A and B are shown apart, each in its own frame.
Chain A
Amino acid sequence: MKKIILVLLGLVAYSFASVIGLDALGEEQTAGGMASTAGRGYAGGAKTGDAEGLSVLNPARNAFDTKVVFNVNFLMDMVVLEKKSDNFVVNNISMPSFNLSFPMGGFGAFGLALWQSYSSNLNEEVSEGKNSVETTIEYQSSVYEIVPNYTFRLPIIRNFSVGASAHVVMGNSTRKISMGPDMEDVASSDTWAVSRTELADYVDGTWEIKNHPAYYTAAIQYRGHQSSFYFSYTTPHTLLNKLDYNFRMSELDTLAPTKRSREVEVPAMLATGMNFRFMKRNNVMFDLAARGWDKDIENIGGSFNMEPVTETQKDMLVALGFQRDGSPMFYDPYLDRVTYRLGGWYKTWYVKDVYELGGSLGAGFPLGRKGTTLDLSFQGGKRFADSGRAWEELFFGVRIGLMGVGSWGQTR
């Protein structure tokens, strides 16, 4: 295990992220970006069990949990941007989510998640330009959600549960493009005044929900002996991004900013999924989530020839996965205690004409006998884009999740 972790740490140095929709919302962390879910192609929202943790799409799932679960996820992803035969690589490291769930027996279960739902990340330097000043471009935008979650099993029909969660949105966004002068329009006798002067187009702001403290998800879950399913509905909401635009010489030499607020109307989302268990520990699962964007998204834009809006389309996730649960018996052979996962997904992005096809391979390695698991998933695929601004992307990601399952408050 140590060796695997070492190799993964090596990979961190070469990890990367999507640049599609940078000026709109950025990349969505599907299904909370959990390593275990990602390993089976983002399917398995309906799968119950203590080793599953909290689901941001299905707040009714953890009603069936009996133990406290802590789960933290890391993502290292690499994207190769392609246009014809040209390509370049950009990178990202992030912590898309961590979550906690507390089962309370007859009182239901309470959960809390921190989820980076959308993020824009880019930090690149380009020395090819019309002057000796390097162009640098930095995007750092994260829409974070704190998601408290409550769920309980229904009386009488105990294999049904209902749950709801509130998504409290926060976050910040920064865009900095610094560059040197283009002096094409300046007489040679006047170039002395601006040569080697670096200026930065600087935008920074915050994320919140407009006119409301949060948006909400409600779900119903059925857990059968072999099959389980869920259905969830997430309310539409308007994200508010308050921005200050500047054009600055340095951090200490700035202009008084222009302020602007952009509103992103996020439509309602419907999600459903089913899980079928066979031969004791084998599962196949299928999930579907859809959100009908009907308005364009205002971009941060505001400078040079940057596009003012990002056109949208219906975004949809179709996911199919398989999971072989590891044996819970600590005396079984180690390989039998490992959970194996496999999956694939098709996703249409909220950005018009962008489609993603991906596959994943994952495993959950039990660490010791105390219920701690290290989830690993490798995912790869391609984002197809059909516009001059968005380039196609080949992506490869490594997700690491650490899950702790414990029995707090119980005596043995």
Chain B
Amino acid sequence: MKKFFVVFLTLFALALTACIFDSEESVMADWLSAQGIPSGYQVQTLSVNELTPLSSEVFLDSAPKLANDRVVLGKTANISHDLVFDAAFYDSVFFADLKKTDSVEMFLALHVLKPFYLAKQFPADSLPLKENVTLTISWKLEKGSSKSFVDSVWDIESETWLSDLKKWKPDSSADTTVSVVISSKDTILKVGLPAGLVSAMKDFSKACRLQLRVSAPEASRTYRFYGVETAKYPQIWASFPKDKSFIEFNPFRTAHIVSSKETCSDCAVLHGGVYDSLVVEYESAPIMKALSDFYGDEFPYTGEAGDDVRQTVVLAQMTFARDDSQGTSELGLPIQVVVGSYTDSSGKSIRKMEAYKLNKSLIVSKGHPNMVFYEGDSLTLQVTYGLRDFINRARDGRTFKMMMRLGYPVLQDKDSTYADRKVDGDTSYVFFSHFDHARYDFSSSMKQPSTLKLWLANKRGDK
């Protein structure tokens, strides 16, 4: 009897298997169709023309930033770049020697960032570069009496230090003129420290903290140097000519402080290489009207509790008119415009950086559409996340807000990979790895109408 069961069940299993292998996927597709489920979601495109911003506003983050890798000093594109060095040292012999002599000299040595100046993208006729620049040097000194004083300075969190620098009140300051020479050779900028600073240090006997701020308010360009975390770090030297000896004590961190010298407060001007952003806001009505005309439904969605999921944005791009003539750049390369938009996150508005989907055939023929200082007269930016969130939640009357800023200079404007990669063992770079301290005026772009193009996936059924 048991054997009979085993044989019976095994035959059943085989019969079932036969049935299964007989089924066809096309039949399943027919069944889905009978249930009203299509084989793909419907995609449609919609252009919303003549959009003018409700507002456009620039925001420059002028808070001091830590800059320990590469540092910038000078002024260009209406932005000045100052540096503050923080150094602490314990050396009672040095202070004793300092007191004994009048002929001591102190100077700051900055190593020129050669990879930038020697890059083939740097205008070749600019080197050698010889200029006299007037620097303003201000300082703050703190007296210490032990090694632990140095440790206590090192223990100050950088965030705290940067925050304190916002209220910079130096002990004193002095102007000095230096000769900046940048050539293909290794070059060092030697900045003599003011006599006032040296004599102030004579009052010290064991330990000292020196915060040194260097500005070049009258410079006609920026100068780039290595930072404290590189092999060619900035150094502070004391030279004793009498016995031909040197003492070196070095800053352990550097802050970079920018300030705007723009005179037009209403202008939509962006600067490269700084934390600068242009926030553009659009009102809801024209976009809602275009959607309403397109679908024949009510927009914004006012249905049952919740937000609009009748469709979603697969891709969105905003195209602005572009006029490069009002801009200036150091390198003459096209510059990528980085874009973000404001989306909702648990009830809070957050800025989300947008993804960039590549339109390869367009890129190969005409270059990336998201660059300034380039051929053509338009700038196209993808704002998919922002528009997706905006249309989804438009019932609360929100506006659409996007943000743009200048990114890295682009070396391969028609490269459709948009990523550095290995080619024949060498790295093929899409972007130049140094920012261009450019200035770009979007004022005229903001005054002209822009076009929003949407790729929409639709869940509506046939009407």
A binds B: yes
* Interface residues of A, Cβ cutoff 8 Å to B: 1, 3-4, 7-8, 10-11, 14, 19, 22-23, 78, 80-81, 83, 86-89, 124, 126-131, 133, 135, 137, 177, 179-187, 190, 192-194, 197, 199, 201, 244-249, 255-260, 302-307, 335, 378, 388-389, 391, 396
Segment among B18-26, B75-83, B125-133, B245-253 that sits at the interface with chain A: B18-26
Indicate which residue in B12, B13, B308 contacts A258 across the interface (CB closer than 8 Å): B308
Interface residue B152 (Cβ < 8 Å from any Cβ of A): no
Tell which of B1, B306, B357 has the most Cβ of chain A within 10 Å: B306
Closest 10 CB pairs of A and B: A305-B36, A182-B40, A258-B306, A88-B23, A305-B461, A129-B39, A193-B315, A7-B9, A256-B307, A259-B306
Interface residue B419 (Cβ < 8 Å from any Cβ of A): no
Complexed CA–CA distance, A115 and B460 (Å): 36
Interface residue B119 (Cβ < 8 Å from any Cβ of A): no
Could you jot down 20 A-B contacts, CB within 8 Å? Answer: A3-B2, A4-B2, A23-B35, A86-B26, A86-B30, A87-B27, A129-B29, A182-B41, A187-B45, A197-B314, A197-B457, A199-B457, A245-B309, A258-B307, A259-B304, A302-B459, A303-B37, A305-B38, A335-B1, A391-B34
* Chain B contacts for A199, CB-based, 8 A: 41, 312, 314, 457
Interface residue B31 (Cβ < 8 Å from any Cβ of A): yes
Contact call B43/A186, Cβ cutoff below 8 A: yes
Complexed CA–CA distance, A302 and B455 (Å): 21
Question: Chain A's nearest CB lies how many Å from the CB of B246?
Answer: 58
Indicate which residue in A83, A130, A247 contacts B312 across the interface (CB closer than 8 Å): A247
Contact call B16/A11, Cβ cutoff below 8 A: yes
Q: Known A4-B2, A87-B22, A244-B306; judge A133-B461 contact (CB<8 A).
A: no
Q: How many chain-B residues does the 8 Å CB contact rule pick out? A: 65
Contact call B344/A304, Cβ cutoff below 8 A: no
Indicate which residue in A19, A126, A185, A197 contacts B42 across the interface (CB closer than 8 Å): A185
Contact call A78/B40, Cβ cutoff below 8 A: no
* Chain A contacts for B1, CB-based, 8 A: 335
* Chain B contacts for A192, CB-based, 8 A: 357-362
Indicate which residue in B43, B311, B360 contacts A183 across the interface (CB closer than 8 Å): B43
Interface residue B393 (Cβ < 8 Å from any Cβ of A): yes
Contact call B31/A88, Cβ cutoff below 8 A: yes
* Chain A contacts for B460, CB-based, 8 A: 304
Question: Chain A's nearest CB lies how many Å from the CB of B43?
Answer: 5
Measured CB to CB, the nearest residue on chain B to A338 is: B1
Contact call A304/B31, Cβ cutoff below 8 A: no
Complexed CA–CA distance, A362 and B29 (Å): 36
Contact call B304/A258, Cβ cutoff below 8 A: yes
Contact call A247/B459, Cβ cutoff below 8 A: yes
Question: Chain B's nearest CB lies how many Å from the CB of A163?
Answer: 36
Contact call B31/A391, Cβ cutoff below 8 A: yes
Question: Chain B's nearest CB lies how many Å from the CB of A174?
Answer: 16
Q: Known A87-B27, A185-B44; judge A193-B455 contact (CB<8 A).
A: yes
Tell which of A14, A388, A389 has the most Cβ of chain B within 10 Å: A14
Contact call A179/B312, Cβ cutoff below 8 A: no
Complexed CA–CA distance, A78 and B44 (Å): 40
Question: Chain B's nearest CB lies how many Å from the CB of A373?
Answer: 16
Measured CB to CB, the nearest residue on chain A to B317 is: A193
* Chain A contacts for B20, CB-based, 8 A: 14, 89
Of residues 219 to 250 in B, which have CB atoms within 8 Å of A's CB atoms?
Answer: none
Measured CB to CB, the nearest residue on chain B to A249 is: B312
